Amino acid sequence: MQASDRFNINSQLEHLQAKYVGTGHADLNRFEWAVNIQRDSYASYIGHYPMLAYFAIAENESIGRERYNFMQRMLLPCGLPPERDED
Amino acid sequence: MDSVDAEIARAQEERRKMEEVAPLTSVTFDADLYGGANRFEGYELSIPVTEEDDDQDADGRDLARRMASYTGPKSLKEIPRGAEAEDDSGFKKPQRIIDREDDYRRRRLQRIISPERNDPFATGEATPDPSVRTYVDVMREQALQRQKEEMLKEIAKKKEEKNKAAAEPAPPAQKRRNRWDQSQEPDAAAKKAKTTSDWDAPDSTPGIGRWDATPTPGRVADATPSVRRNRWDETPTPGRLADADADATPSAGGVTPGLTPTGMTWDATPKLAGLATPTPKRQRSRWDETPASMGSATPLPGAATPAAAFTPGVTPVGGVDLATPTPGAMNLRGAITPEQYNLLRWERDIEERNRPLTDEELDAMFPQEGYKILDPPASYVPIRTPARKLLATPTPLGTPLYAIPEENRGQQFDVPKEAPGGLPFMKPEDYQYFGSLLNEEEEEQLSPEEQKERKIMKLLLKVKNGTPPQRKTALRQLTDKAREFGAGPLFNKILPLLMQPTLEDQERHLLVKVIDRVLYKLDELVRPFVHKILVVIEPLLIDEDYYARVEGREIISNLSKAAGLATMIAAMRPDIDNIDEYVRNTTARAFSVVASALGIPALLPFLKAVCQSKKSWQARHTGIKIVQQIAILMGCAVLPHLRSLVEIIEHGLSDENQKVRTITALSLAALAEAAAPYGIESFDSVLKPLWKGIRSHRGKVLAAFLKAIGFIIPLMDAVYASYYTKEVMIILIREFQSPDEEMKKIVIKVVKQCVSTEGVEADYIRNDILPEFFRNFWVRRMALDRRNYRQLVETTVEIANKVGVADIVGRVVEDLKDESEPYRRMVMETIEKVVANLGPSDIDARLEELLIDGILYAFQEQTSDDANVMLNGFGAVVNALGQRVKPYLPQICGTIKWRLNNKSAKVRQQAADLISRIAIVMKQCHEEQLMGHLGVVLYEYLGEEYPEVLGSILGALKAIVNVIGMTKMTPPIKDLLPRLTPILKNRHEKVQENCIDLVGRIADRGAEFVPAREWMRICFELLEMLKAHKKGIRRASVNTFGYIAKAIGPQDVLATLLNNLKVQERQNRVCTTVAIAIVAETCSPFTVLPALMNEYRVPELNVQNGVLKSLSFLFEYIGEMGKDYIYAVTPLLEDALMDRDLVHRQTAASAVKHMALGVAGLGCEDALVHLLNYVWPNIFETSPHVINAVMEAIEGMRVALGAAVILNYCLQGLFHPARKVREVYWKIYNSLYIGSQDALVAAYPVLQDEENNIFSRPELLMFI
ipTM of this complex prediction, to 2 decimal places: 0.93
How many pairs of residues across A and B have Cβ atoms under 8 Å apart?
A: 90
- Chain A contact present for B1222, CB below 8 A: yes
Interatomic CA distance for residues B1192 and B1156, integer angstroms: 10
**Secondary structure letter of residue B980 according to DSSP:** H
Interatomic CA distance for residues B525 and B483, integer angstroms: 8
Rg (CA), chain A: 18
Please count the other Cβ atoms lying within 10 Å of the Cβ belonging to residue B377: 6
Contact B1227 A17 (CB under 8 A): yes
- Chain B contact present for A30, CB below 8 A: yes
Q: CA nearest B103: which of B181, B30, B48?
A: B30
In degrees and rounded to multiples of 5, residue B625 shows phi and psi of -65, -35
Nearest Cα residue in chain A from B1242: A41
Contact B1263 A34 (CB under 8 A): no
Side chain identity at B185, as an amino acid letter? E
- Chain B contact present for A33, CB below 8 A: yes
Interatomic CA distance for residues B1132 and B1148, integer angstroms: 9
- Give the model's pLDDT for residue B938: 94
- Give the model's pLDDT for residue B1175: 96
Interatomic CA distance for residues B1213 and B1229, integer angstroms: 10
Q: CA nearest A28: which of B8, B826, B1226?
A: B1226
Largest CA distance in chain A: 59
Interatomic CA distance for residues B388 and B393, integer angstroms: 9
Interatomic CA distance for residues B459 and B474, integer angstroms: 5
What pTM value is reported for the model?
Answer: 0.61
Please count the other Cβ atoms lying within 10 Å of the Cβ belonging to residue B590: 28
**Secondary structure letter of residue B1236 according to DSSP:** -
CA distances from B1083 to B188, B617, B1022 (A): 81, 81, 18
Q: Are A13 and A5 in contact (CB under 8 A)?
A: no
| Facing residue for A34 by CB, picked from B1187, B1247, B1252 | B1247
Contact A10 B1254 (CB under 8 A): no
Q: CA nearest B567: which of B609, B523, B604?
A: B523
| Facing residue for B1262 by CB, picked from A37, A40, A58 | A58
Nearest Cα residue in chain A from B1183: A5
Please count the other Cβ atoms lying within 10 Å of the Cβ belonging to residue B237: 13
| Facing residue for B1253 by CB, picked from A25, A40, A78 | A78
Beta bridge partners, B573, equal: none
Interatomic CA distance for residues B449 and B1167, integer angstroms: 75
Q: Are B127 and B237 in contact (CB under 8 A)?
A: no
Interatomic CA distance for residues B1150 and B672, integer angstroms: 55
- Chain B contact present for A62, CB below 8 A: no
- Give the model's pLDDT for residue B81: 40
Our measurement of the distance from residue B1065's CA atom to the centroid of its chain's CA atoms, rounded to an integer in Å, reads 39
| Facing residue for A40 by CB, picked from B1237, B1260, B1263 | B1237
E strand spans, chain A: none
Q: CA nearest B1231: which of B1156, B1185, B1182, B1179?
A: B1179
Q: Are B1093 and B1105 in contact (CB under 8 A)?
A: no
pLDDT tens by residue, B960-1003: 999 998 888 889 998 999 999 999 999 899 999 999 999 999 99
Contact B1230 A14 (CB under 8 A): yes
Collapse the DSSP code of B703 into the 3-class scheme (helix H, G, I; strand E, B; otherwise coil) and give the result.
Answer: helix
**Which chain B residues are Cβ-neighbours of A59 within 8 angstroms?**
1262
Give the pLDDT means over successive 10-residue stretches in chain B (1264 positions).
Answer: 64 62 42 44 43 40 41 42 41 68 81 75 68 78 82 88 71 43 41 40 38 39 41 43 40 39 40 40 44 39 40 39 41 55 76 78 80 80 55 48 56 54 76 76 75 89 88 90 89 88 87 90 89 91 91 93 92 89 94 94 93 90 95 93 94 92 95 92 93 90 94 92 90 90 91 88 90 92 90 94 91 92 93 92 91 92 80 93 92 92 89 93 90 92 92 94 89 91 91 93 89 87 83 86 87 87 84 88 92 93 94 93 94 95 96 95 94 96 91 96 95 93 93 92 90 87 86
Query: Residue B536 contacts by C-beta under 8 Å, 6 or more apart in sequence?
Result: B113, B495, B498, B499
Query: Residue B665 contacts by C-beta under 8 Å, 6 or more apart in sequence?
Result: B653, B690, B693, B701, B704, B705, B707, B708
- Chain B contact present for A57, CB below 8 A: yes
Alpha-carbon torsion (B309, B313, B318, B319), positive or negative: positive
Interatomic CA distance for residues B922 and B878, integer angstroms: 10
**Secondary structure letter of residue B117 according to DSSP:** B
Interatomic CA distance for residues B486 and B518, integer angstroms: 10
- Residue to test with chain B: of A38, A42, A84, most B Cβ within 10 A: A38
Nearest Cα residue in chain B from A59: B1262
pLDDT tens by residue, B530-540: 998 999 999 99
Query: Is pLDDT above 90 for A68?
Result: yes
Exposed (0-12), middle (13-18) or buried (19+): which is A7, by Cβ within 10 Å?
A: exposed
H/E stretch holding B332: helix B327-333
- Chain A contact present for B1263, CB below 8 A: yes
**Which chain B residues are Cβ-neighbours of A79 within 8 angstroms?**
1252-1254
**Secondary structure letter of residue B767 according to DSSP:** I
Contact A24 B1230 (CB under 8 A): yes
Q: Are B997 and B1036 in contact (CB under 8 A)?
A: yes
Interatomic CA distance for residues B539 and B552, integer angstroms: 8
Interatomic CA distance for residues B563 and B708, integer angstroms: 36
**Secondary structure letter of residue B96 according to DSSP:** B
Task: Give the DSSP per-residue string, B494-515.
Answer: HHHHHT-TT-BHHHHHHHHHHH
In degrees and rounded to multiples of 5, residue B179 shows phi and psi of -115, 145
**Contact map slice: B 1241-1260 vs A, CB within 8 A:** 1241, 1244, 1247, 1250, 1252-1255, 1257, 1259-1260
**Which chain A residues are Cβ-neighbours of B1238 within 8 angstroms?**
44, 47
